Amino acid sequence: MVGGPGESGSECRGEAPLNVPGQRDSRGQGGDEKSQTLPPSLRMPEGPELHLASQFVNDACRTLVFGGCVEKSSVSRNPEVPFESSAYRISASARGKELRLTLSPLPGAQPPQEPLALVFRFGMSGSFQLVPREELPRHAHLRFYTAPPGRQLALCFVDIRRFGHWDLGGKWQPGRGPCVLQEYEQFRENVLRNLSDKAFDRPICEALLDQRFFNGIGNYLRAEILYRLKIPPFEKARSVLEALQQRRPSPELTLSQKIKAKLQNPDLLELCHSVPKEVVQLGGKGYGSESGEEDFAAFRAWLRCYGMPGMSSLQDRHGRTIWFQGDPGPLAPKGRKSRKKKSKATQPSPEDRVEDPPPPSKAPSRARRAKRDLPERTATQRPEATSFQQDPEAPKIPKKGRRKGRQAASGQHRPRKAKADTPSLEPEGTSAS
């Protein structure tokens, strides 16, 4: 069903919803509620953000009763949600980088309907927001409306960049490993049992994004985990993890001594569990500047490595930026120089913030020699720096080749060879973000 807040689709029968007296919003108030949001973050949502999102949905919707059809925006390519009920509740649970939303009809609701579950993957900017029906966010691609009486609210899946996805049926995506937050023992066993997998031939920073083994770990978490253990990001993953197979606490230690030793000297797999828990314990509504200055300040104060002044960065094989300190490791990409984040005092202004240019060549290039005979461009003629120069994680635009330039100059075009479509690289080992 596609439509705006004031439209009713052909699938909606229009029965009067069950009378739900005393309907309130997620703060236990009625009538003049304000928008409650879990805003999109600056970076791709990771395990802690999905967990916080499920907490938000459960807290915000605990006292709410929803009714009617589920609306999908006309621009979303995700599947329609064939669900209609005069009265139902919404609950959520999270596992790794996925969130399951369950729609449960109340007794006596019409038409008779079985519960329906949807599994969401947030992509790069997905989030849930609870807003008044007449104040829908611009990028609300799936909408669940509360039933009257009282002012109607809408629980919206908001996704500005539209990389998020939902599937019907409620099954977690096949191939994803156990959740690093909620299934620690299974997660640890799954990694150590599969160290012969070719994924562990790669640098540890790339292996940490493989959701078959590290379900819930993303870009900022991998940087923080490796930094705490002083592990070079481009060290071979198997070399780092094989030592953990032989790690056994001394049988002479008491249980309290074993727990204390584990807390004081955690290994990499233990940090994959405890570091995301720290982010969840920060509370708030996730991270990113749009999540509110207070929430963002707490997250920023928690960070030790990711994007911090004095830290270096390199792009891995998939073009994702890894932040670190010191030696990058033996498997670092050849020919790429690491960049160091400057402190705020030395950082350029936003208008001047571009990536460091390469050192000038001593001998003038052919293009420079040609420009000597051309009149200098005016200020209005000079091209502005693109946003890709400002964002080190943005995809790079390939430069025009010399062959293409010659063809344009001559006005003759050779027919292009047909190229088979190649699958896009997935930095996390699955088709989902």
- Among candidate residues 382, 399, 402, 403, the one labeled active-site is 382
24 classed as catalytic: no
- Among candidate residues 45, 48, 178, 427, the one labeled active-site is 45
97 classed as catalytic: yes
- Among candidate residues 72, 95, 97, 121, the one labeled active-site is 97
382 classed as catalytic: yes
- Reference 126, options 88, 90, 166; nearest CA is 166
The residue written with tokens 């400057």 in the block is 342
- Among candidate residues 46, 84, 98, 183, the one labeled active-site is 46
User: What is the C-alpha to C-alpha distance for residues 397 and 94, in angstroms, rounded to an integer?
Assistant: 36
Q: Residues with Cβ < 8 Å from 243, sequence gap 6 or more?
A: none
The residue written with tokens 């996390």 in the block is 428
HEC-encoded secondary structure of the chain: CECCCCCCCCCCCCCCCCCCCCCCCCCCCCCCCCCEECCCCCCCCCHHHHHHHHHHHHHHHCCCCEEEECEECCCCCCCCCCCEEEEEEEEEEEECCEEEEEEEECCCCCCCCCCEEEEEECCCCEEEEEEEHHHCCCCEEEEEEECCCCCCEEEEEEECCCCCEEEECCCCCCCCCCECCCCHHHHHHHHHHCCCCHHHHCEHHHHCCCCCCCECCCHHHHHHHHHHHCCCCCCEHHHHHHHHHCCCCCCCCCHHHHHHHHHHCCCHHHHHHHHHHHHHHCCECECCHHHCHHHHHHHHHHCCCCCCCCCEEEECCCCCEEEECCCCCCCCCCCCCCEECCCCCCCCCCCCCCCCCCCCCCCCCHHHHHHCCCCCCCCCCCCCCCHHHHCCCCCCCCCCCHHHHHHHHHCCCCCCCCCCCCCCCCCCCCCCC
Catalytic residues: 45-46, 97, 382
